[in-house]
């Protein structure tokens, strides 16, 4: 995961009534938007394939996963075509690389796949000025369409090879300005030239141009707010988590396979991060609305040490101390910012809960032990990065 931002999704007034079904029957929905890349945490994220997951809140009715919740998911990537045509080709690609350990041999025999993979690694200067496609066909009432998310801000590509360039760029941009995206649809007007199960094929924009039906708005905000990254990491996305009127087209074999793959991938990621796999029926509160005075910022500094209780040879006690830190930890805006350490400690989330005095804890941050202190151990937390599935 790069970063997650709060926003809202507005359906344009005047949209054809035939298209106002499922998601698009709502006028305005709260949204949490997670941007991601396919690179490892230690590699530069510039030049990686970018993805965006949009979780919409306030969409009533059961979805394609059989869930009774009130959320819907949209998932897109920054390239208009997939790198294989269908589920059969995807299995052959995976078998060649995972089982035979011979991706180069497969790609040599499939230059069209190699070309798409090469194009996916083109450098993009910002996730907020990139265009994204859903790639696969989706139902829209009685019609079939493809989705595109198009930035209103012109691309401003500034190549940089720092490991977290795109994440840092996103944080800096949203701290200064809000960003908007046009949500577009392309109708399947010519079935003979617009196949449903060939994910590498574009649909001609001359035959059916993309038209806007909604707007995604990301207001100016601090995406580094306490707990926001944890909340984003805990979200799970699946292209089938939509009303039946907006479900992926059943004729797309890749869409059908993704129903199980996305669920398995989300479960694996949550297990790796030590997080429960559960939905988010209600959105996390976003930044204060214009004109609403935010709560006073808590600038207190808290130091915590685990000490052995007096009179007991074993066990642990909790000692809290307010005041400036003495080495190692710094406090930023009232949050505990401990030095990065070594081994996990299962009580870090509970300790943070007790210190701050409320129930919002950093579940994603893995607690660690930092440098030792007399008769105790100082707590520290490290930060990891996940990948969109």
**pLDDT tens per residue, range 165-213:** 888 889 999 999 999 999 999 999 999 999 999 999 999 999 999 999 9
Q: 47-51, 298-302, 357-361: which has the minimum mean pLDDT?
A: 357-361
In whole angstroms, give the CA distance from residue 279 to residue 234. Answer: 9
More confident residue, 122 or 359: 122
Are 219 and 128 contacting, i.e. CB atoms less than 8 angstroms apart? no
Tell me how many degrees the CA angle 36-40-44 measures, rounded to the nearest 5: 85
Domain map of the chain by residue range?
3-272, 302-382
In whole angstroms, give the CA distance from residue 72 to residue 236. Answer: 11
pLDDT of residue 92: 96
Mean pLDDT of 66-85: 92
Could you report the per-residue pLDDT of 286-332, keeping only the tens digit for each? 655 444 455 565 666 666 666 666 665 554 444 444 444 444 444 34
In whole angstroms, give the CA distance from residue 341 to residue 372. Answer: 10
pLDDT of residue 332: 40
- Residue 307, exposed/middle/buried by CB under 10 A (0-12, 13-18, 19+)? middle
Q: Are strands 3-11 and 28-37 parallel, antiparallel or unpaired?
A: antiparallel
Backbone phi, then psi, for 109, in 5-degree steps?
-85, -10
pLDDT of residue 144: 98
Distances (CA, A) of 291 to 72, 220, 288, 294, 338: 30, 14, 8, 9, 34
pLDDT at 115 over 70: yes
pLDDT at 261 over 90: no
pLDDT at 51 over 70: yes
Mean pLDDT of 51-56: 96
Q: Which H or E element spans position 149?
A: strand 143-151
In whole angstroms, give the CA distance from residue 33 to residue 174. Answer: 13
Which class would CATH give 3-272? mainly beta
Alpha-helix residue ranges (DSSP H) falling in 177-330: 228-234, 253-272
pLDDT of residue 213: 98
pLDDT of residue 124: 74
Distances (CA, A) of 112 to 107, 167, 204, 223: 8, 31, 19, 38
Other beta carbons within 10 Å of 204: 13
- Residue 133, exposed/middle/buried by CB under 10 A (0-12, 13-18, 19+)? buried
Mean pLDDT of 248-271: 77
Rounded to 10 degrees, the C-alpha dihedral 89/91/97/103 comes to 0
Are 150 and 184 contacting, i.e. CB atoms less than 8 angstroms apart? yes
> Residue 45: which of 171, 163, 173 has the closest Cα?
163
Partnered with residue 378 across adjacent β-strands are 305
pLDDT at 361 over 50: no
pLDDT of residue 221: 95
Mean pLDDT of 218-233: 91
């Amino acid at each position: 995961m790069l970063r997650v931002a709060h926003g809202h999704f507005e359906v344009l007034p005047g949209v054809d009534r035939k298209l106002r079904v499922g998601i698009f029957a709502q006028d305005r929905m709260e949204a949490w938007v997670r941007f991601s890349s396919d690179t490892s945490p230690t590699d530069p994220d510039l030049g990686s394939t970018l993805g965006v997951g949009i979780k919409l809140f306030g969409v009533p009715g059961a979805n394609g996963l059989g869930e009774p919740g009130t959320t819907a998911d949209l998932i897109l990537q920054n390239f208009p075509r997939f790198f294989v045509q269908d589920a059969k080709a995807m299995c052959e690609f995976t078998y060649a690389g995972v089982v035979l350990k011979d991706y180069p041999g497969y790609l040599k025999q499939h230059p069209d796949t190699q070309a798409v993979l090469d194009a996916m690694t083109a450098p993009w200067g910002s996730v907020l000025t990139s265009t994204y496609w859903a790639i696969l066909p989706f139902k829209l009432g009685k019609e079939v369409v493809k989705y595109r998310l198009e930035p209103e801000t012109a691309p401003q590509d500034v190549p940089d090879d720092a490991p977290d360039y795109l994440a840092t760029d996103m944080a800096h941009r949203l701290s200064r300005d809000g960003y908007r995206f046009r949500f577009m649809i392309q109708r399947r007007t010519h079935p003979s030239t617009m196949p449903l199960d060939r994910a590498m094929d574009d649909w001609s924009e001359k035959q059916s141009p993309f038209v806007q039906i909604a707007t995604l708005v990301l207001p100016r905000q601090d995406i580094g707010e306490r707990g926001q990254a944890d909340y984003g990491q805990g979200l799970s996305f699946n292209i089938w988590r939509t009303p039946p009127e907006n479900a992926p087209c059943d004729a797309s074999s890749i869409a059908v396979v993704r129903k199980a793959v996305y669920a398995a991938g989300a479960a694996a990621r949550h297990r790796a991060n030590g997080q429960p796999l559960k939905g988010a029926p209600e959105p996390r509160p976003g930044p204060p609305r214009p004109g609403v005075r935010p709560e006073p910022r808590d600038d207190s500094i808290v130091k915590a040490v685990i000490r052995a209780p007096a009179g007991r040879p074993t066990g642990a006690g909790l000692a809290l101390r307010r005041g400036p830190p003495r080495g190692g930890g710094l406090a930023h805006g009232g949050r505990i910012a401990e030095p990065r350490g070594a081994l996990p400690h299962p009580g870090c989330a509970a300790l943070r809960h007790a210190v701050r005095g409320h129930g919002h804890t950093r579940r994603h941050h893995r607690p660690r032990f930092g440098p030792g202190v007399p008769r105790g151990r100082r707590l520290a937390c490290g930060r990891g990065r996940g990948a969109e599935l």
